[in-house]
Amino acid sequence: MTVIIAGTLGTMLVFTGFILSASARNLPRFRDDQKPNHVLFSPIYPNSIIFNLADHRDDPLHEERGGPMRNSFSRDLNNRQRAGVTDVIGELNYNNLGGTPRSNIVPPVEGMRIDRQRETNQEHNIQVQVNNVQGHSTVAAVLIPNRYLNNSINDQGRAQVARQVRAALVNSFLDYLHGNPRIHRVEGHLSN
């Protein structure tokens, strides 16, 4: 598996053996309308993912790195679980984001699930967690302000929010993998 990291000046760094195995079945299964803005899929290298780390704060709606992620999983994930994280994030859509606290807001994949935690400070807390673990189990988390989760948002806005939530979860997971687990948050305003 090759991962290409695109910088703001167009430079490209290539790493091998990063995050996911080379098998195509382990690549994230995002539909075109679901792809996070920061994760691009290479048409040239079919077993590659391009992580676009350019500054996206100029986007009307974007995700940002926040404070430390509490209750992070303290053990290493195996390759099956790592693939499960990206796959379960790919299953997430706008309709899963709001509502009361609930576990398994999308069907679990490879021992990974997504939970909707209790609302805090007018924000919803969505977490990717390891199944069947006692105690700390979080590997990615995002805070979503309530203003992005209401009935007045049209379909285009809902797709935009869902994309940013998925991007935030992917980037939070990358922080976890690099030993610096951080919660991410959706910020800005809708473009429509």
Instruction: Please write the tens of the pLDDT for every residue from 151-183.
Output: 899 999 999 999 999 999 999 999 999 999 999
CB count, 10 Å around CB of 37? Answer: 19
For the entire predicted model, the pTM comes to 0.73
Average pLDDT over residues 140-159: 93
User: In the predicted model, is pLDDT for residue 128 greater than 50?
Assistant: yes
Residue 172 and residue 142 in contact, taking contact as beta carbons nearer than 8 Å? yes
Cβ atoms 80, 110 nearer than 8 A: yes
**pLDDT (tens digit, 9 = 90+) per residue, 49-71?**
444 444 444 568 888 899 999 88
Beta bridge partners of 144: 124
Burial class (CB in 10 A: 0-12, 13-18, 19+), 78: exposed
Assigned token pair, 150? 């209401």
**Tokens 């899929």, located at residue:** 41
User: CA 80, CA 97: separation in Å to the nearest integer?
Assistant: 25
For residue 20, give every residue at least 6 positions away whose Cβ sits within 8 Å of its Cβ, in sequence order, or none: 1, 26, 27, 28, 49, 79, 82, 83, 86
DSSP string, 160-184: HHHHHHHHHHHHHHHHHHTT--EEE
**What is the reported pLDDT for 31?**
47
